[in-house]
Structure 1
Amino acid sequence: MADQQILIVGCGDIGSRTAVGLVARGYQVFGARRSVAALPDGVQALRLDVSDLNSWFDLTLQPDYIVYSVAAGGFTEASYQAAYADGVRNMLTWLTEQRIQPKRIFFVSSTSVYGQNEGETVDENTPTQPQGFAGRIMLEAEEALRNSVFSHTVLRFSGIYGPGRDLLIRQVKQGRIAPEVPVMYSNRIHSEDCAGVINHLLVMDHAEEAIDSLYLATDKGSVPIYEVMRWMADELEVTPTEIVEAPTKRRASKCCLNQRLLATGYIFQYPTYREGYAPALAAIKAQS
């Protein structure tokens, strides 16, 4: 597969995990980001600022696949606009003017495009009603792809957790916990499964197996966030002393369905929060 060039735009946490899997499968992987330090072994580094159109035209490769997995520089409207809406439009301009036709573009999006927050069930067919700038701008980037001539797949990841993403664990260690009532449903996916999903679908497409243009990517456990934090507290033998009304910073409550993803045959490495958080909790207990 060395003749297949994969360009990972924004080769940070998820992009790097994705790259490791693709390199192991024999693909030729290029990682493009503003800082090219500390990319995984086997990944060829490219310098790129997605918000700068000229930066795109400094790239000389013609990738067979593109994985757009950019992290905004901060949780501000300007940062999101630059990373997602502007970045995707610049990519599409570069591809069009350079007459590059990748087999498929994979765009890492977010369930923030859903504005439902009363415990509703959502899937790929649910109308998007973003309530904040993050969801609105992410949806703008999705629509730019939908309106383009390029084959693409949008991946709406739910709350990503894993190494370096331990907000809930830190809060529980401090004795803080979500309220039991009103119920706030939460959805999550481990960072290793984010990479796993991208690898799985890219390999399927390369094998000319049919894949969809949109997937809601979340694990098998849409549960009240109180349940998650209560379980953590029990595991760490911590007695909660304070209620946190919005422990994930952005108050939301919906139940995300992943049937379309499961129908592709993807098998989760961490199917629920229990498997995903267990190693981190075990490490904390071993240190105490």
Structure 2
Amino acid sequence: MNVAVIGCGYVGKAVAQYWRQELGFTVTATTTSPERISELEAVGQRVVLTKGDDLAGLQSVLENQDTVLLSIGAKNADVYEETYLKTAHSLVSALKQTPSVRQLIYTGSYAVYGDKNGEWVDEESPVAPANKNGQILCDTEQVLLSASTENLGVCILRLGGIHGPGRELSKIFSRVVGTTRPGNGEDTTNWIHQNDIVAAIEFARKHKFQGIYNLVDDAHLTYRELLDRVCNQHNLPKVSWDESQKSVRPYNARVSTQKLKAAGFQLSHPETI
């Protein structure tokens, strides 16, 4: 099995490592940073330095691949269009020239649902991005889905907030502990552990998933509950809330993973904390 991982950040690198070391696949890994080439040579037999708008570079990556994982992340809010949408357009163009690829898996975000006032959402719920970058994520999904053909399946996994080894919740919220936050903290959160992301990507590859699947854990804690538990567990100063101010969180939806579970997938980390 020849697999390509476009974007070897926190998730992509872990998937590349699993595919190579546990399953014996031949892995091509990409990065936009020359200084990461030697690091990625430990998880991929081939490492390619390329950017998302480099059509020739992407065509080189895709050659003779069976499965492609697109797992990219914007370095900051100003480069969403360049990171996500331009890469999607280039990748779709490259896929048209590469008939060997039978499946594309993309790690997206539940951010596309926007603010649903804490109501349940599933894959059939209308998207309602809360800002421009949320809209870019929606547009990216549509561009990638447009590449689907009889010979090429496209699977989109809408992930919750990502935590795991090296990205512990105590680190993620280190700047928040002991502060006062706007709102009442009752917004719903959706998280997913790195191990479950890796497992779900392999599950999607193995079962040739097509279409959209949500991927979050079962906890659905409120922001207040989550921060209270993190602070209690690590003996950190509690977070206070100022209900006179409006919450600044653009996402408030309770994300269902029933579709993924009905397909047979089981979470190994169903509780966030």
Q: TM-score range by the shorter chain?
A: 0.7 to 0.9
CA shift, 1:7, in A, is 0.5
Cα displacement (A) at 1:67: 0.3
Counterpart of 2:190 in structure 1 is: 187
Query: Match for residue 271 of structure 2?
Result: 272
Task: Give deviations 1:45-103, integer Å, cap 9, x for gaps.
Answer: 11221122233244472210000001113212xx111111110110111121x242411
C-alpha deviation, 1:142, in angstroms: 1.0
Q: 30, 33, 36: which one pairs with 2:31?
A: 33
Look up the match of 2:221.
223
Where does residue 95 of structure 2 map in the other structure? 95
SS at match of 1:119: strand
Q: How many residues align?
A: 261
TM-score by length of 2: 0.86
Distance 1:136 1:93 in 2: 21
Q: Does 1:164 align with 2:163?
A: no
Q: Which residue of 2 aligns with 1:119?
A: 118
In the superposition, relative to structure 1, how do residues 42 and 161 fare at CA in structure 2: closer, same or farther (>3 Å)?
closer
Residues 31, 99 of structure 1: CA spacing in aligned structure 2 closer, same or farther, 3 A cutoff? closer
Q: Which runs of 5+ in 1 are unaligned?
A: 206-210, 275-288
1:176 aligns with 2:173: no
Q: Which residue of 1 aligns with 2:202?
A: 199
| Paired residue secondary structure (1:118) | strand
Contact 1:175 1:241 in 2 (8 A): yes
> SS of the residue aligned with 1:89?
helix
Aligned AA (1:170): S
**Equivalent AA in structure 2 for residue 7 of structure 1:** A
1:277 maps to what in 2? none
1:61 and 2:63 equivalent? yes
Give 1:20's aligned residue.
17
Contact 1:171 1:177 in 2 (8 A): no
Sort the Cα spacing of 1:178 and 1:231 in 2 relative to 1 into closer, same or farther, 3 A. Answer: farther
Aligned to 1:279: none
2:232 to 226, 231, 234: 234
Looking at structure 2, the residues matched to 225 and 55 of structure 1 have their Cα atoms a distance apart, in angstroms, of 42
1:238 CA displacement? 3.5
Structure 1 residues 232 and 99: CA distance shift in structure 2, 3 A: closer
* Amino acid in the other structure paired with 1:83: T
Aligned counterparts of 2:134 and 2:47: Cα–Cα separation in 1: 30
Distance (whole Å) between structure 1 residues aligned to residue 64 and residue 109 of structure 2: 27
For structure 2, the 5+ residue unaligned runs are none
Contact 1:177 1:226 in 2 (8 A): no
CA contact (8 A) 1:69 1:107 kept: yes
Distance 2:107 2:226 in 1: 25
Deviations 1:6-60 (A, max 9, x none): 0100011100111122111121111112122311634121122112223324447
2:71 matches 1:72: no
Q: 1:215 corresponds to which letter in structure 2?
A: Y
**SS across alignment from 2:138:** helix
Q: Kindly tell me: are residues 273 and 180 of structure 1, through their superposed partners in 2, closer, same or farther at Cα, counting changes over 3 Å?
A: farther
**8 Å contact 1:177–1:230 — kept in the other structure?**
no
Counterpart CA distance in 2 for 1:75 and 1:249 is 15
Question: What is the alpha-carbon distance in structure 1 between the residues aligned to residue 143 and residue 239 of structure 2?
Answer: 47
Aligned to 1:50: 52
Identical counterparts, % of pairs: 21
Q: How does 1:132-171 map to 2 (within 5 A)?
A: 132-148=131-147, 149=149, 150-162=152-164, 163-164=166-167, 166=169, 168-171=172-175
